[in-house]
Structure 1
Amino acid sequence: MSNSSSEHKVHFQPVEVQAHDSEITLKYSEKRIDVHLGFLQINRHYTVTFVMQDDLGEDLTFDPLQNLHARVTKYEPTEDGLGHQLEMDFHAHREKLIQERVSVKSITGNGNYRDIVLHARVLGKGKGTPALRNGIKCSQVDDDNDSDVTDWQGFD
């Protein structure tokens, strides 16, 4: 077995490379919008900005405590009146596939809503640095909790 560095590189099939897009992907179903963010890095907070098509009216409401790892921070109606530009905070708090749901509702109280489900593949520590899609910016890096140093003195 050789020790060449190529053994540790990630290789993608040609179809996967063609399918990769630098834009956030939105997929719509009845009352749900799946927002695919691509690869992110663990212990990072991201600001995610995208435009969704909806019929919720000009003003929205949402529960800021609904989800600990994803929340709407800002919204504004699109100029054409066919949706909203949303800004969200997303915390990549664990490795592998993460799905976080946030509901936004029409402020008119007519029961009209959309469930926004953010999907991300989160790379663990030392697994690489992903190229972020357009509309995603790293806003905060959490402290490394894997420190070998501790103040705990143990049991007497």
Structure 2
Amino acid sequence: MRLPITGKEQHRVHFGEDADCFGKDNEIVIQKQDDCQLTAHLGFLQLGHRYEIHLTLPRSQCEMYGTAELKESLTEKVPNVNCRLLAVSSDKKDIILKLELFAYKEKLLKEELRLERSDTKALLMLVVLARVLGRGKGTPLLRNGIKSIGVELDDESEASDWQGFD
């Protein structure tokens, strides 16, 4: 049953202070898929941009305790040019990875990094996932730990002054 609307009623939505959870939702989400694979969800990125990403992996999630470290595996025949490991640092609780990622295609971007444990030489696969917005589709709000470090745009344009061959 619909009630009739009479007069000029004002409708407003109010959110309490406890509903503000923006800071918590803006973190990079890291999920453990199995013993040798982690997935990092980066959120939205922009096409043609190069990003520096700081990921914090809890040692418990990687099952790495003590002084074990991670480094990029050298078993790959072809290095990943779109996603590179720049640095690794650690403390007793966490391993911090510094990556460089180039958003080279629209929609779902999935890049893989193979990391090697220093103690057992076992491989750990880090899958980096992001949604990439094309040109003119808006500017995304970057998650904590992600910053844009450059833009590489195609200079090819359909509006060329080249006349072609006669």
Q: TM-score, normalised by structure 1?
A: 0.76
Amino acid at match of 2:40: V
> How far apart are residue 60 of structure 1 and its match?
2.2
Q: Which moved more, 1:37-46 or 1:53-62?
A: 53-62
Amino acid at match of 1:140: G
Counterpart of 2:109? 98
Runs of 4+ displaced beyond 2 Å: 58-66, 143-156
> How far apart are residue 151 of structure 1 and its match?
7.6
Map of 1:51-70 to 2, 5 A cutoff? 51-53=56-58, 54=62, 55=64, 57-58=68-69, 60-63=71-74, 65-70=78-83
Q: TM-score, normalised by structure 2?
A: 0.72
1:22 aligns with 2:33: no
Q: Contact between 2:70 and 2:115, CA under 8 Å: does it hold in 1?
A: no
Aligned residues: 136
Unaligned runs of 5+ in 1: 1-17
Unaligned runs of 5+ in 2: 1-20
How high is the sequence identity, in percent, across the aligned residues? Answer: 33
Map of 1:32-43 to 2, 5 A cutoff? 32-43=37-48
Work out which of the two has the higher radius of gyration on C-alpha atoms and give 1 or 2. Answer: 2
Measured in 2, the distance between the counterparts of 1:36 and 1:60 equals: 21
Among candidates 83, 89, 95, match of residue 76 of structure 1? 89
Tell me the C-alpha RMSD between the 2 structures: 2.5
